[in-house]
Amino acid sequence: MTASPVRSKDEIPDAEYRKMVLTLMDKQASREVATAEVFGQCVLHAPTVEDKIRITRFQHEELKHFQLLARIMSELGVDMDAYVRDRQRAGARFTGDEADMQIQDWIDATLFNFMIDRAATFQLTEYTKGSYLPLAQANDVILKEEEGHKSFGEAGLEQMCQDPAARAEIQRRFQKWFVASMRIFGRAGTPGNQYCLRVGLKTRDSGDVAAAYVDSIRPVMARCGLRFPERSELPLELPPQVDLSV
Ligand SMILES: [Fe+2]
Ligand SMILES: [Fe+2]
């Protein structure tokens, strides 16, 4: 077992490391393609042609992210054509419930982009520092595009929240999207997390990554006049280091 860089598949030290790299890539790859599918729903509700163009560009970029990962996964022997064909549909990938991920209007689309797309970005930022260099390098490329996605949801949310009625509706729906975004980080302190830290596949426990994500949206929440749900209102256990104040 090693925390030194693994430069290619031929340097993978053992079966356990290989299995974990594949698990991390499976999670990310399925989210890249699921995000592209949800953006497809968002296009229907985009209020202007400029917004539709931007969302379809994001959608295209998510599919390219998938292809970058697919190349590395197929090097490790995964049949990626079968993977795409047989995978779960988008909603189930995020919440476990397909019906849950329906985008009803532009508010849902904005909340999806603001929270889910951003949380995924925080997760993959970890992988850019990870010891499996093919994955780290792919995520360097992916991250550049994700930065652009991040600012879009943020600006849209701030604009919508200037209207008190829209702000109240956003607050009402906030919890659902927040919970789905927190699920992306997985549980903190698990044996899998500890293994990833030991072999350098991650540099922080998922509780710390989740806390950093919440820190990043806090200033936006303050500008929008929104609040986080109470810890006791949430149907999942949050890592203790997550700060829900605004
Ligand atoms: Fe992506
Ligand atoms: Fe994205």
210-243 pLDDT, tens digit each: 999 999 999 999 999 999 999 999 999 999 999 9
Domain contains 205: yes
- The answer on pLDDT for 89 being more than 60 is no
Domain contains 10: no
Dist. CA 28 → ligand 1 center (Å): 8
d(CA 5, CA 122): 21
Domain contains 24: yes
Dist. CA 2 → ligand 2 center (Å): 31
Contacts of 226 (CB under 8 A, 6+ apart): 161, 167, 170, 171, 174, 246
Confidence of residue 97 (pLDDT cuts 50, 70, 90): low
Looking at all shown ligands, the one closest to residue 33's CA atom is: 1
According to DSSP H, which parts of 199-241 are helical? 206-224
Looking at all shown ligands, the one closest to residue 42's CA atom is: 2
Based on the structure, what is the number of domains in the chain? 1
Dist. CA 48 → ligand 2 center (Å): 20
Domain contains 244: no
Percent of all residues in the chain with a pLDDT value above 90, rounded to a whole number: 81
Domain contains 181: yes
Domain contains 147: yes
Domain that holds residue 214: 15-233
Domain contains 1: no
pTM: 0.92
Dist. CA 118 → ligand 1 center (Å): 9
Dist. CA 61 → ligand 2 center (Å): 7
Domain contains 241: no
Angstrom distances, CA of residue 119 to CA of 70, 146, 166, 170, 213: 21, 11, 23, 18, 6
Give yes or no for a contact between 216 and 122, defined as CB atoms under 8 angstroms apart.
yes
- The answer on pLDDT for 1 being more than 50 is no
CATH of the domain at 108: 1.20.1260.10
